[in-house]
Structures are given as structure tokens and as C-alpha cells.
Structure 1
């Protein structure tokens, strides 16, 4: 047996209040009242005789497709979009964008995606921007038990082959006795771990600190923020 009434978003369109897409946006933002009570649940149903009104300040946000920056904690098993919640938003986010739950959906990801890696992850709903981000270089800081001397490090890593194939181009520098810096372009899954393993270098941790020109900045592990309009990858 079907539920009584019609979807609230459809009824708002029938009344000429807005389009279906706009209706869903207004409902999610808590800007719709039914018989005087705010309704925020998408898919809510109403009867023809019920009074529906938009709160006066209801206007569509300009950010129809958002881009987010997440600091992924180390050894993260959960799906990364699940970190995108109001309570995990960085207090330093100055974008002025109102958080909506739908911002955590339909995201393309780049950055610290390997399970054991931590650091920066870019997440976007903009397909064109996703393609652009995929072309940007990624910078990682790798903590190791003991870093070989610079000349030996280069020789070891440049000689590595993965499954008999030449490894995609990368840069590596020795930062200290315990830290290496990798710059990769379109990395293979677990590329840093595979390179170091075959070169006899034991890894402690891997952290992505930059995607293109965007760095982690003030983000703390588990926090996220919106990409601001002036920022470019």
C-alpha cells in the first residue's frame, strides 16, 4: 500500500515555489515549513490541504558542486566521505559555505588514498576539476628506519621494477637520516611501499602533504574544509 500524500519537493514545484532541485536543497537546509513546522528530511510526504511555506531567507547557495580537503588519519579503514560531517569540519574553515549532508556524496578522490597512508585528500563533485586534480603531482613525506646516503638512494630506487615494468616517473630526496620526500604523478596503488620494499628501505609512515599547489595547512587528522574560491590546484 502506497504512503498517503505526495513528496514535499514535488508539491512545492506544483505550488510554483521552486524547482524540484531547489526544493530538495531548501528542505535539506531547514528552510521549508509544513503547517508551521520545519521539515528537513528529504522524501517527506504531505497532503494537499497542508500549508507549505519557504522561510524568507531561502535562496540557493552558489556552491552547487563543492570541493573538500580532508586530512586523512593513518590506517583508516572507513570510507573517506564518512569523515565529512558538521562536527569534523575544521574551525579554520573561512569559506562561508553552509554544510549540507549531500556535500559528502558523489565525490572523486585524490591524494592519500592508500589504507596505511595519512595526510591530504582532495574530494570534489566537479568532474572537470577531478580530471585536473588527477594530473597534479603529489608530495609525500616518508618516515623510514634508516635512509641510505643520497647517491645510494637514487641508485636503489631507480633500479626497481614492478611486475617487470618500469615504474612511473617519480622524484625522491633524502630529507634526513629518517625521512624521505617523494613527488609522484598518477601513482600506482602502494607505489611508495613497493619501491622502498624492493630497495631494502623499511617504512614507518607515509603522509601526503601536498596536491598540486594545495597543502594540508592547518588541518588536523580527521578534519576537513571547503576549497575556497581563490585556491587553485
Structure 2
């Protein structure tokens, strides 16, 4: 068991993980993993408690094992039902702790990963869905993946299958593809086509809040269900509703 953080430290004393990440030029997630594994000592004493604070002048040593240990950074795909998953006083939660558990890992996940608690640490949701929307959610520990999905210049295609009610003329279909605005901002050109008599396929290059609902309202349609099935080249495939899988090595955002 690691030694406790020294008593009497000022509240502003840095966390050990922050100091380790600065010294070793590693991520905070990696620093936490090294601390948990007992590879970090402070003034000669091993510290294994996450969240421990240290004196800024403390002597911090990191065992060689840390450099030799490959850190797994994971990205996870979750098929969200088209209704709130976890409801409560705070409303719906699209967070990893609520959704990613060993019991709902897709049985056909064929990756090399085996679920570990550290896969949830620093796992960020990249691209939300509204409470009444379902389909592909992406959680990632990789900052580069998060930036490609949610950054200011993110332009990855997002494909949605949309159940609608109402009549849509050929002119209305052309308006959905180009010429509409939301909140006085002109929308980018979209790909819109029929999947069947009650379902449309939307491919968008932007992510405006309730964009599809607003587009459909302007051409006299009512949306009854939205499902995101693809982001970039990564699709839901056969992933069951309410289950998740790891991003495969051959998949890239």
C-alpha cells in the first residue's frame, strides 16, 4: 500500500499525476495508471492513491517499468437507444460511467481489448445526440480523435436515417439538399434521399442542434425518429441497441 500524501500541504499543492505528466511528458491518464501500478515514489515512498497532492519541491521518481509499459488508449462506439438511457434529477446522462459496462459489451466485439476500469478514465463523449435521437455515440481517450469529431473545423460526414410523417414534393426534397437556413444561418449542402416511403437518409457535414428536425419542419414534415448510423467511415454495422464495442484497428475517424 502506498504512503499517504504528506500532512500539512497547502490546498494549492499540485496533484501527483500532474507533476508526473510534466516530468515524464505523458498524459494525465498515463500518469494515473503509473501511480496505480506503484511505479511512482515521492521522497522515496511509493504513492498509489489517485488524487494525492505533493509538495512542489518533492523528489519524484518514476520506475523504468513505466516507459516499457504500453498504454492503451481506447475509442468506444455505443448504439444509443432513441430515448434517455439514464434519467434522474440531472436528466439524461450520455457519460461513459452510465453507458459503458462489462455486461453490455457486444458479444461479437473482435478486438484485442479486454474491458478494464482504466478504459473509462478520461473517456470523453465526442459528438452528442439529443435525448430523442438514437444511434452512434463515440467515446474516446484520444484527444486527436475528439478534435476530429468535435473541433471547430470538424467536417466528417454524419449519416442519419430519419422516419418522417407528411408529404414531401420533389421541390421540397431539393430544398432539404440545399437552400435552407437555421437561426438565419445558411446550412451547408446536404445529401438527402429516400430509403423507403417513410424514411429519409441524411448525410450532413455540420452538427447544428436539432438540425434535421428544423430542416424537415421547413418543408412540412414531422420527424418521428432519428438514428445516426455513421460518422466518417465508421458505421454502427450490426452493433445492437444499448450495446458497445471498441473501435477496431482497421477503423479510423
TM-score of the superposition, structure 1-length normalised?
0.71
For 2:95, which of 80, 89, 92 is the aligned residue?
A: 80
> For the Cα contact (< 8 Å) 2:36–2:49, is it kept in 1?
no
Q: Cα distance 1:106–1:168, how it changes in 2: closer, same or farther (>3 A)?
A: farther
> For the Cα contact (< 8 Å) 2:81–2:242, is it kept in 1?
yes
For 2:77, which of 61, 69, 81 is the aligned residue?
A: 69
Whole-angstrom distance in 1 between the partners of 2:101 and 2:196: 37
For 1:171, which of 191, 213, 218 is the aligned residue?
A: 191
1:215 and 2:235 equivalent?
yes
1:129 is displaced (CA, Å) by: 1.8
Listed as ranges, the matches of 1:122-161 within 5 Å are: 122-133=138-149, 134-155=154-175, 158-161=178-181
1:97 and 2:97 equivalent?
no
Q: Cα distance 1:111–1:139, how it changes in 2: closer, same or farther (>3 A)?
A: farther
Q: What's 2:57 paired with?
A: none
Whole-angstrom distance in 2 between the partners of 1:176 and 1:97: 38
> For the Cα contact (< 8 Å) 1:147–1:180, is it kept in 2?
no
Q: Cα distance 1:92–1:70, how it changes in 2: closer, same or farther (>3 A)?
A: same
Q: Cα distance 1:43–1:112, how it changes in 2: closer, same or farther (>3 A)?
A: closer
Q: What's 2:4 paired with?
A: 6
Listed as ranges, the matches of 1:27-46 within 5 Å are: 43=50
1:68 is displaced (CA, Å) by: 0.6
Unaligned runs of 5+ in 2: 6-15, 17-29, 39-47, 53-67, 85-91
1:172 is displaced (CA, Å) by: 1.1
> For the Cα contact (< 8 Å) 2:176–2:215, is it kept in 1?
no
Whole-angstrom distance in 1 between the partners of 2:33 and 2:104: 26
TM-score of the superposition, structure 2-length normalised?
0.66
> For the Cα contact (< 8 Å) 2:109–2:245, is it kept in 1?
yes
Q: What's 2:211 paired with?
A: 191
Whole-angstrom distance in 2 between the partners of 1:208 and 1:156: 18
Q: What's 2:202 paired with?
A: 182
Whole-angstrom distance in 1 between the partners of 2:229 and 2:243: 14
1:198 is displaced (CA, Å) by: 1.9
- Describe the superposition over 1:136-176 as per-residue Cα deviations: whole angstroms up to 9, x where unpaired: 11000000123514443213663432122212332211222
SS at match of 1:6: coil
> For the Cα contact (< 8 Å) 1:70–1:120, is it kept in 2?
yes
1:224 is displaced (CA, Å) by: 0.7
Whole-angstrom distance in 2 between the partners of 1:207 and 1:183: 12
